[in-house]
């Protein structure tokens, strides 16, 4: 017996015997042709040939890149003593390739330094807080690497006494000629935007706010010139006129260059980031299928409650429909929610998939007939209806080996949600590593098909105090979609997965 021309082991049998043969092959990404030839023992050596075709598709991250732009970076203390701190989180998804990186700040110099260099070996990472006691300053940041890496910022806001009041995870914002964010000022919220001109020439940007019907709001357009290597950060209401309880699209265009943009939604002191959508071309994160490993709805025993908002943008050039399915819970008696046809460029902010039932959780999957950008907003309220915290949740593509970065310092605690978006029971191995890359604990958890697991990491694995490091989730026979949720008291933010 030969496989692709090479002899297999254990390939001989006599009479009516059966040979149990094998040969190990290394598959390449894409189509692999495998030719098996069996030869009998007769003088004529008759042969039988079978050809197999195996297509290998290795999941890759849509957000990993060699260049990241963060349109807003804040550091320092305000006049009332409250202060902002920004943390850089970088993970090298490759186990073999070294990534040499340079992180640059524009418009501010915390601790009198604006350039930082890193050398990330295979699977290397960092969780680096920037902190100073200087006067509050802001600007933007870039990360340039020799190989693709995952990178995010954490914005953290503290009271003068040092209590964390809010925190948000910030994804990088790829530059494009036309970008948009969804703005939702209902419920006492206000949308702000940050625009970075990451070029060596001055650029003029048009900022336009459109209502829920797709019409430009009266007085809803303005232009702003940004010098080279600078940014603009402002509430949209301070740039253009907005009606009460505005919700719709905020679109930024540059006739001769590109913009990197992010939205920041404030509700009192609670804030979260709203990612920009590329309207010039289909973005890397647009997909026909999105998995959200955690979906929560309802009221806890103390009266506090969670609401989840669904945000979808059809950034493609074609129209189509979408279906959102909930697994492990129902909301108002339903688990399947159908969206009518989305014309190209249309969007929705769905707040109606919420109730005051006893608190329930599960996971969600969104299937569309065209590529869309999609996120969830997790919102947490006191019993009297005051929003305590809010976090934006990106979809989590499935992978056989995925990780999140944990940082339990500063009285924080990481929770993880794992979704098994398949029809089979799958066992997952969860391993936590310390800052030196040494495993501190591991556990294996079976998860039934079409269900999820959501736990604090410390309830799964015994962790040392102030643990920080990678948390790796692997499965030998399936794939996982995961997300991290970092809690500091009632304040939380999401930590995205990195596909390994």
pLDDT tens readout for residues 415-449: 999 999 999 999 999 999 999 999 999 999 999 99
Domain finish residue from 352, 370, 394: 394
Q: What is the residue-averaged pLDDT of the chain?
A: 94
Same-domain status, 195 and 246: yes
Same-domain status, 193 and 258: yes
pLDDT for residue 24: 87
Q: What percent of the chain has pLDDT over 70?
A: 99
Q: Which residues are CB-neighbours of 384 under 8 A, at least 6 positions away?
A: none
Average pLDDT over residues 14-38: 83
Same-domain status, 31 and 100: no
pLDDT for residue 61: 76
pTM assigned to the model = 0.88
pLDDT at 350 over 70: yes
We report the CATH number of the domain holding residue 318 as: 2.60.290.11
Tens-place pLDDT, residues 201-248 = 999 999 999 999 999 999 999 999 999 999 999 999 999 999 999 999
Decide the pairing of beta strands 451-456 and 387-394. Answer: unpaired
* CA distance linking residue 443 with residue 322, whole number of Å: 37
> For residue 120, how far is the Cα from the chain centroid?
21
pLDDT for residue 58: 61
> For residue 138, how far is the Cα from the chain centroid?
24
Same-domain status, 125 and 178: yes
Same-domain status, 242 and 338: no
Q: 189-223 as b/e, with b when 16 or more CB fall inside 10 Å?
A: bbbbbbbbbbbeeebebebbbbbeeeeebeebbee
pLDDT for residue 112: 84
Q: How far is CA 294 from CA 55, 248, 291, in A?
A: 31, 26, 9
Tens-place pLDDT, residues 74-126 = 999 999 999 999 999 999 999 899 999 999 999 999 888 999 999 999 999 99
pLDDT for residue 62: 80
Domain range spanning residue 302? 287-394
Same-domain status, 388 and 425: no
Same-domain status, 111 and 225: yes
Number of domains the chain is built from: 4
Contact 69, 142 (CB under 8 A): yes
Give the SS3 label for residue 187: helix
Contact 275, 284 (CB under 8 A): no
* CA distance linking residue 411 with residue 424, whole number of Å: 37
pLDDT for residue 194: 98
Same-domain status, 413 and 366: no
Same-domain status, 260 and 119: yes
Domain finish residue from 372, 394, 416: 394
Domain finish residue from 232, 259, 278: 278
Same-domain status, 171 and 297: no
pLDDT for residue 348: 96
pLDDT at 199 over 90: yes
Same-domain status, 252 and 223: yes
Tens-place pLDDT, residues 38-73 = 888 888 888 999 998 887 666 667 889 999 999 999
pLDDT for residue 59: 62
Contact 70, 170 (CB under 8 A): yes
pLDDT at 27 over 90: no
Give the SS3 label for residue 170: strand
Tens-place pLDDT, residues 282-311 = 998 999 999 999 999 999 999 999 999 999
With residue 457 as reference, give the H or E element that holds it.
Answer: helix 457-460
- Point out the least confidently predicted range of 133-137, 242-246, 362-366, 410-414: 133-137
Same-domain status, 274 and 311: no
């Amino acid at each position: 017996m030969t496989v692709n021309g090479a002899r297999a082991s254990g390939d001989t049998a006599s009479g009516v015997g059966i040979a149990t043969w094998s040969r190990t092959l290394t598959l390449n990404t894409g189509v692999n042709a495998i030719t098996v030839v069996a030869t009998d023992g007769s003088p004529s050596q008759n042969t039988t040939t079978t050809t197999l075709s195996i297509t290998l598709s290795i999941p890759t991250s849509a957000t990993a890149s060699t260049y990241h732009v963060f349109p807003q970076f804040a550091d320092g203390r305000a006049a009332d003593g409250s202060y902002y701190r920004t943390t850089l989180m970088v993970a090298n998804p490759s186990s073999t390739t070294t990534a040499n990186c340079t992180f640059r700040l524009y418009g501010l110099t915390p601790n009198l330094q604006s350039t930082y260099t890193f050398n990330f070996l295979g699977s290397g990472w960092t969780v680096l807080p920037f902190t100073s006691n200087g006067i509050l300053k802001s600007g933007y940041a870039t990360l340039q690497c020799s190989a693709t890496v995952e990178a995010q910022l954490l914005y953290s806001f503290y009271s003068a006494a040092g209590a964390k009041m809010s925190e948000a995870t910030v994804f990088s914002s790829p530059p494009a000629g036309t970008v948009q964010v969804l703005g939702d000022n209902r419920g006492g919220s206000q949308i702000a935007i940050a625009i970075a001109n990451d070029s060596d020439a001055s650029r003029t940007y048009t900022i336009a706010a459109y209502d829920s019907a797709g019409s430009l709001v009266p007085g809803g357009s303005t232009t702003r010139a940004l010098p080279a290597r600078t940014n603009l950060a402002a509430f949209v209401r301070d740039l253009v006129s907005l009606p009460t309880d505005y919700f719709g699209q905020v679109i930024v265009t540059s006739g001769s260059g590109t913009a990197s943009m992010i939205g920041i939604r404030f509700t009192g002191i609670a804030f979260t980031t709203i990612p920009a959508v590329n309207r010039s071309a289909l973005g890397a994160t647009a997909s026909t299928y999105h998995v959200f490993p955690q979906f929560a709805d309802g009221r806890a025993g103390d009266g506090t409650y969670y609401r989840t908002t669904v945000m979808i943008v059809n950034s493609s050039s074609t129209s189509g429909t979408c279906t959102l399915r909930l697994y492990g819970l129902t909301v108002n008696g339903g688990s399947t929610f159908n969206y009518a046809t989305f014309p190209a460029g249309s969007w929705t902010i769905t707040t109606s998939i919420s109730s005051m039932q006893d608190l329930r959780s599960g996971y969600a999957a969104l299937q569309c007939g065209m590529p869309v950008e999609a996120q969830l907003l997790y919102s947490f309220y006191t019993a009297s209806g005051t929003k305590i915290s809010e976090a934006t949740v990106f979809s989590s593509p499935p992978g056989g080996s995925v990780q999140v970065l944990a940082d339990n310092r500063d009285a924080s605690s990481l929770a993880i949600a794992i979704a098994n978006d398949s029809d089979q029971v799958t066992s997952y191995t969860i391993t936590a590593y310390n800052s030196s890359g040494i495993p501190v604990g591991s556990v294996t958890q079976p998860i039934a098909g079409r269900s999820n697991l959501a736990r604090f990491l410390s309830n799964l694995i015994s962790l040392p105090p102030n643990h920080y490091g990678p948390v790796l989730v692997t499965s030998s026979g399936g794939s996982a979609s995961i997300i991290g949720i970092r809690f500091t008291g009632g304040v939380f933010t999401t930590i995205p997965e990195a596909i390994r």
